[in-house]
Chain A
Amino acid sequence: MYQILEKKTLNANTKLMVIEAPHVARKAEPGQFIILRVTEDGERIPLTIAEYDREKGTITIIFQEVGATTMALGQLNVGDCLHDFVGPLGKASELEGLKKVAVVGGGLGCAIAYPQAKKLHEMGCEVDLIAGFRNKDIIILEDEMKAASTNLYVVTDDGSNGRKALVTEVLKELIEAGNQYDAVIAIGPMIMMKFVAETTRPYGIKTIVSMNTIMVDGTGMCGGCRLTVGGETKFACVDGPDFDGHLVDFDGSMRRSAMYKAQEKASVERHECNLMKQEVK
C-alpha cells in the first residue's frame, strides 16, 4: 500500500514522488490535498495533490524538505511505502466559468499552483502564470508551467534567471497594461499571498489564496488549522484550503504557523543526528 513508484529531484531540496493510492486518485481534483505519515510513529503532514492519474491510480506530490518529516520523506526511495496516505481532502478549487486568470506562484507554491493552471488551460481559459523564485537554482517545473499557461513570466529575487523582480510587480504591470482578469490565484508563502492580495485589492479583482495552515487530522475534527476570514473562524482543511484573499487575516495565520518553531528545530536536529548514526554504522 502507498508505494513510491517514482522519485525525482527537482532542485536541491525539492522532490517529486508518484505514489500508488487508487482510493485518492479516483476522486482527486485540483486544489485538494492529502495527509501522509512516513512511519508508524510519524506526524501527519498535508501536501497538495500536484497531479493525479485515475487510470493508474497514482498521486503525484512535490515537497520541499523544510523539517524533520519532509526530510524523512525525502530519504525514501522507489519501492518504499508510506505508512499512511489519506485523501483527497479539502474543497476542490472553483475554476468553472473563468475565462482569463493570473496564477501567481511563489517558490514551491508554483508546484501547488501548477494543477490549477493546467486545469484552467485545458478548460480553454487564458492563463498568465507568474512564477517567482529566489534564484535560478531553485526554479522548478519550468517546462510544465510553460505548457500549462498562455504566458509564463519567470522572475527571480536576484535576477539570476528571468527578470529581477517581485511577482507583485509583474502582476501590477499586467493589470495596469489593461489585462482584465476574472480572478487572480495566488499560492506560495503566506507573506507573498498577503502582498498579492494587497496588490489586487484596489482593482477589486477576485483573489483566491491557498492557506497552508498547520494541520493534524485534516477532517474538521481538531480545529488546529483554523484561521480568521472576514472576521469569522474557518477550518482550512474543510472550508478551504482556498479562501478569498481580501478577507483572510494573514498576520494571524502567519503567527499561528510559527507556533512550534522551537520544537520543529529540535526535531530536525534529532533527525539529522539519527541520519549521522545510520551513516556511521
Chain B
Amino acid sequence: MPNMNPKKMPMPEQDPNVRNKNFDEVTLGYTPEMAVEEAQRCLNCKHKPCISGCPVQVKIPEFIALVAESKFLEAAAKIKETSALPAVCGRVCPQETQCEQKCVRGIKGEPVAIGRLERFVADYAREHGEEKPVQPAANGHKCAIVGAGPAGLTCAGDLARMGYQVTVFEALHTAGGVLMYGIPEFRLPKAIVQKEIDTLKDLGVEFVLNFVVGRSETIDELFADGYEAIFVGSGAGLPTFIGVPGENANGVYSANEYLTRINLMKAYRDGADTPILHAHKVAVVGGGNVAMDAARCAKRMGAEEVYIVYRRSEKELPARLEEIHHAKEEGIIFKFLTAPLEITADENYNVTGMKCQQMELGEPDESGRRRPVPVPGSEFTLDLDCVIAAIGTSPNPLIRTTTPGLDTNRKGCIVADEEHGITSKDGVFAGGDAVTGAATVILAMGAGKRAAAAMDEYIKNKK
C-alpha cells in the first residue's frame, strides 16, 4: 500500500537566520528512513508520465522502487544509466517544471519529491563506496572538448566510456563551468562537483586548464593536432548589463563577476587575496536563479538590506521555486513590477542608489508573457551601495570569431541540430548554453550526451 500523505517528506534545512550568515549547504538531505518513506509515495504508474518531463529520461519509477526497498546503490546505478550528474541535478534541476510537474501525485497534492530522492541516492552512493570506474580499452581515436561545464563534462564522460582518448580544454583554472564559478557553495557544494570531475579523470579524461580555445589555439589548430571530432560546450558567459546611466560606477557588478569573486576566488573567506565589496544595501536586478544566488550571497557577505528588483510580477519569476522560497526566508526583499532607470553615484564614483520606476502588466509580448509598462509618475529611489546585474548572458564571441565555417545565429549562439549537436563545420559538434543561450544544467547535459553518440557515429563513418 503506497504512502498516501499528500505532502512531500520535508527535507531538513539550516535555520534561515543561521544559514544567511554562512556558506554551508542550506538543505541537509534526507536520511535513509525519510527517503524510503518518500519513495513509498510513488504509485509506480504504468505509463510513467514523470519520465516524459525529464530531459534525459531518468528511469524514475524504477529507481524510486529500489529506494523503497532500501537498495540505494542499485538505485544510483539505475539513475546513472541515463544521467551523468545526479548529485548535481537532484539539487539544481527546476523539478517543478520538469519531472515533478508530470507526476500524478501532483494532481491532488504535492508530487513525489523526485529531485530530493535523486539527490539522496547520489549522495548515498558517493559516501558509501561507489566503485571507481575502470578505464575502458582505448579505441585509438582522439576527441577534444571545449569547455568543462556540464555539457562538456557529460560529453567527455560518454566518449571516454566508449574508449575515446578525450582531452577537455578549459579557459579557467578550475573545471566545472557554472557549477564551479556561478552556483554558490550553499546550493551546490564544490566538493560534489569535484568528485564528478575526478571520476572522469579515473576514466582517463585529460583536463587541460588555463587554455582558451580561440586564443591559445583555434579549433582548426586542434584538428591539426590530431583531434578527429570536437565538441564545443563553451557556455553563455558574456554578461548583459542593465543599460541605464551610471552602470560603470564602483559597486556595480555583473552577477558573473560577483559570483566568480565569491565562488571561484573564495572572496567570502577571511583573508582571501581576491577583494570584493562588502556592501550594506544591495539591489540585484533580475528574477532568475542567477539573481537569487547573487542576492543570497550578498546577504551572506553581511549586507543588511538586499533587494531583488524584477520588472514583472511574482508569477513570472523564472527562478526555481525552492530558491525563491529560500531567498524569502533568508530576508531578501522582493520589489516586483519595478524597473531600474538610473544608478546614482557620489563624487568618488561609488554607488549611492538606484532610481526605479513602478510597472504594470500590459499586453502579452512575443514570449507570451504580459509586457511590463511604466506607471507614469511612479519614480522612486532605493538607497544602495551596490547593484548587481543578473539579467542574462549570451555566448562569448571568442569561438565564433576564430572559427571560420562555424555558423551562429543573430544572438551569437552556435547553430547546431538538437538531436546530434551537428554544426555547419565538419567534425565540430556543439551543445549546452553555447547553442541554446542561458538554460539549465540538465539540458546542457542532455546535449552533451547526444553529441557524444553523434561524434562516435561520425568518427566510425569517416573511414
Answer yes or no: A42 CB below 8 A from chain B CBs: yes
Which of the segments B31-39, B79-87, B272-280, B377-385 contacts the partner chain? B272-280
Answer yes or no: A165 CB below 8 A from chain B CBs: no
A-B contact count (CB 8 A): 110
Answer yes or no: B271 CB below 8 A from chain A CBs: yes
Given A88-B216, A89-B212, A222-B256, do A256 and B238 touch, yes or no (CB 8 Å)?
Answer: no
Which residue on chain B has the smallest CB distance to residue A235?
Answer: B238
Select which of B216, B253, B266, B277 is within 8 A of A27 by beta carbon: B216
Answer yes or no: B173 CB below 8 A from chain A CBs: yes
Asked whether A252 lies within 8 Å of B349 as measured between CB atoms, the reply is yes
Answer yes or no: A96 CB below 8 A from chain B CBs: no
| Complex-state Cα separation, A270 to B269, whole angstroms | 14
* Nearest Cβ on chain A to B407's Cβ, whole angstroms: 21
Answer yes or no: B265 CB below 8 A from chain A CBs: yes
| Complex-state Cα separation, A267 to B274, whole angstroms | 9
Answer yes or no: A160 CB below 8 A from chain B CBs: no
Count, chain B residues at interface, CB 8 A: 37
Asked whether A217 lies within 8 Å of B260 as measured between CB atoms, the reply is yes
Asked whether B217 lies within 8 Å of A27 as measured between CB atoms, the reply is yes
Which label, helix, strand, loop or mixed, suits the secondary structure of the A interface?
mixed
Answer yes or no: B135 CB below 8 A from chain A CBs: no
Which of the segments A166-174, A194-202, A224-232 contacts the partner chain? A224-232
| Complex-state Cα separation, A224 to B258, whole angstroms | 9
Which label, helix, strand, loop or mixed, suits the secondary structure of the B interface?
loop
Interface residues of B in 209-256 (CB under 8 A from A): 209-212, 215-217, 237-239, 241, 247-248, 250-251, 253-254, 256
Interface residues of A in 70-95 (CB under 8 A from B): 83-89
| Complex-state Cα separation, A89 to B311, whole angstroms | 37
Count, chain A residues at interface, CB 8 A: 41
Residue among A37, A84, A87, A255 facing the most chain B CB atoms (10 A cut-off)? A255
Given A27-B217, A238-B398, do A86 and B256 touch, yes or no (CB 8 Å)?
Answer: no
| Residues on the A chain within 8 Å of B248, using CB | 226-228, 233, 252, 256
| Complex-state Cα separation, A24 to B271, whole angstroms | 31
Answer yes or no: B348 CB below 8 A from chain A CBs: yes
Asked whether B215 lies within 8 Å of A221 as measured between CB atoms, the reply is no
| Residues on the B chain within 8 Å of A238, using CB | 396-398
Answer yes or no: A55 CB below 8 A from chain B CBs: no
Answer yes or no: B257 CB below 8 A from chain A CBs: yes
Interface residues of A in 102-137 (CB under 8 A from B): none
Answer yes or no: A11 CB below 8 A from chain B CBs: no
Contact surface of B with A, Cβ cutoff 8 Å: 171-173, 209-212, 215-217, 237-239, 241, 247-248, 250-251, 253-254, 256-257, 260-261, 265-266, 271-275, 277, 348-349, 396-398
Contact surface of A with B, Cβ cutoff 8 Å: 23-24, 26-27, 37, 41-44, 68-69, 83-89, 216-217, 219-224, 226-228, 233, 238, 252, 255-256, 258-260, 263-264, 267, 270
Complex A-B: 6 CB contacts under 8 Å? A23-B217, A44-B274, A83-B173, A86-B173, A216-B257, A219-B172
